[in-house]
């Protein structure tokens, strides 16, 4: 996974300025294709109002809403109030999820798309069974809401790797795509950079994270502190002209995640600035 490449990059970055200095100016110059945001699952221990305030501290407008912060079974009025709270804070809702589709129940599937519509989610990051994909495709066509299948590595019987989902959606509506979770991808021995390259035509979302042991998704650390080929990931996204969300899904330090999330954003912004330079 080109561990040497990152060391070379950091050395080069040091030659033109410290990463912290790069990060301080990168926010204004981030290329349009890199929408750095937050998967609100990172803030699952905090109520919605506090989670929104924490996202704002990261100086990003982009958020993917997990059910902890806007329950799926809420009333339409409750969903509208929750959406308004996010939007009033200046946040842009890129998606909702991960939302599971594991019931062969038309009413359940439709209710989740209704939820996404009311919540202002243009895309559902989802974990479906392979059997339900045709029904989800019909809902995509009816609601004009994209789906991005999230691979879940070792625990996923349907789509452990991005390539598994990519094969399953061939021939389906072009609004059916993928969310590549780089951690779950790496843990099963698949190169995240290669997966991005192979699946680029249907890549709608990225869950970014880092691990000290790439074979164990549970060994998460702030982005830049582990062994994930982060620099090569961003290089590949830029090369493929990726323009959607790169959402930090920070699962470590669940009771105090903000310091690690801030460190992750600073590193990623430094990487982007270095690539631009």
* Mean pLDDT of successive 10-residue stretches along the chain, which has 277 residues: 44 40 43 82 98 97 97 97 98 97 95 98 97 97 98 91 96 98 97 98 98 95 98 95 96 97 97 89
Using an 8 Å Cβ cutoff, are 169 and 175 in contact? Answer: no
Q: Crossing angle, helix 76-88 and helix 48-57, to 10 degrees?
A: 20
Question: Angle at Cα 232 formed by Cα 201 and Cα 41, nearest 5°?
Answer: 75
| In the block, residue with structure tokens 């300025």 | 17
Residue 159 is predicted with a pLDDT of 95
Find, among 85, 94, 87, 78, the residue nearest to 36 by Cα: 94
**96 phi-psi bin (left φ>0, alpha ψ -120 to 50, beta other):** beta
- CA pair distance 91, 37, nearest whole angstrom: 10
Residue 155 is predicted with a pLDDT of 85
Residue 26 is predicted with a pLDDT of 42
CB neighbourhood size of 2 (10 A): 14
- CA pair distance 239, 228, nearest whole angstrom: 18
- CA pair distance 147, 172, nearest whole angstrom: 11
Contacts of 40 (CB under 8 A, 6+ apart): 51, 55, 63, 64, 65, 66, 68, 69
Residue 33 is predicted with a pLDDT of 66
Centroid of chain to Cα 36? 9
Centroid of chain to Cα 6? 22
Specify the pTM. Answer: 0.88
Residue 34 is predicted with a pLDDT of 77
Residue 4 is predicted with a pLDDT of 39
- CA pair distance 223, 208, nearest whole angstrom: 8
- CA pair distance 175, 171, nearest whole angstrom: 11
**Domains of the chain, with CATH numbers?**
31-276 (3.20.20.150)
For the chain, give the DSSP string.
Answer: --HHHHHHHHHHHHHH--HHHHHHHHHHH--TT-EEEEEGGGGTTS-HHHHHHHHHHTT--EEEE-GGGS-TT--HHHHHHHHHHHHHTT-EEEEEEEEEE----HHHHHHHHHHHHHTT-SEEEEEE-GGGHHHHHHHHHHHT-EEEEEP-GGG-SS-SSHHHHHHHTTTS-TTEEEEEEHHHHHHTT--HHHHHHHTGGGEEEEEE-EESSTT-TT-EESTTSSS--HHHHHHHHHHTT--SEEEE---SSTTS-HHHHHHHHHHHHHHHHHHH-
């Amino acid at each position: 996974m080109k561990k040497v490449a990152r060391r070379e990059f950091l050395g080069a970055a040091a030659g033109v300025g410290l990463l912290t200095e790069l990060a301080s100016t990168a926010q204004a110059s981030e290329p349009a294709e890199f929408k750095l945001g937050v998967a609100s699952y990172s803030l699952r221990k905090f109520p919605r109002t506090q989670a929104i305030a924490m996202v704002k501290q990261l100086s990003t407008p982009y958020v993917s809403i997990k059910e902890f912060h806007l329950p799926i079974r809420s009333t339409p009025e409750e969903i509208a109030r929750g959406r308004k709270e996010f939007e009033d804070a200046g946040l842009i809702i890129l998606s909702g999820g991960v939302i599971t589709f594991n019931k062969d129940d038309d009413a359940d599937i439709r209710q989740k798309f209704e939820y996404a519509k009311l919540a202002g989610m243009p895309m559902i990051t989802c974990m479906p069974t392979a059997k339900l994909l045709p029904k989800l495709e019909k809902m995509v066509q009816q609601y004009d809401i994209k789906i991005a299948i999230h691979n879940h590595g070792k625990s996923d019987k349907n789509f452990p790797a991005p390539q598994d989902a990519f094969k399953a959606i061939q021939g389906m509506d072009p609004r059916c795509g993928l969310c590549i979770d780089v951690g779950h991808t790496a843990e099963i021995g698949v190169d995240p950079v290669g997966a991005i390259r192979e699946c680029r035509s249907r890549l709608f979302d990225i869950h970014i994270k880092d691990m000290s042991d790439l074979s164990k998704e549970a060994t998460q650390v702030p982005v830049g502190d582990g062994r994930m080929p982060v620099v090569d990931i961003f290089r590949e996204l830029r090369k493929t002209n990726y323009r959607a969300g790169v959402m930090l899904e920070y699962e470590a330090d669940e009771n105090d995640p903000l310091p690690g999330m801030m460190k992750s954003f600073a590193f990623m912004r430094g990487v982007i600035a270095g690539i631009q330079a």
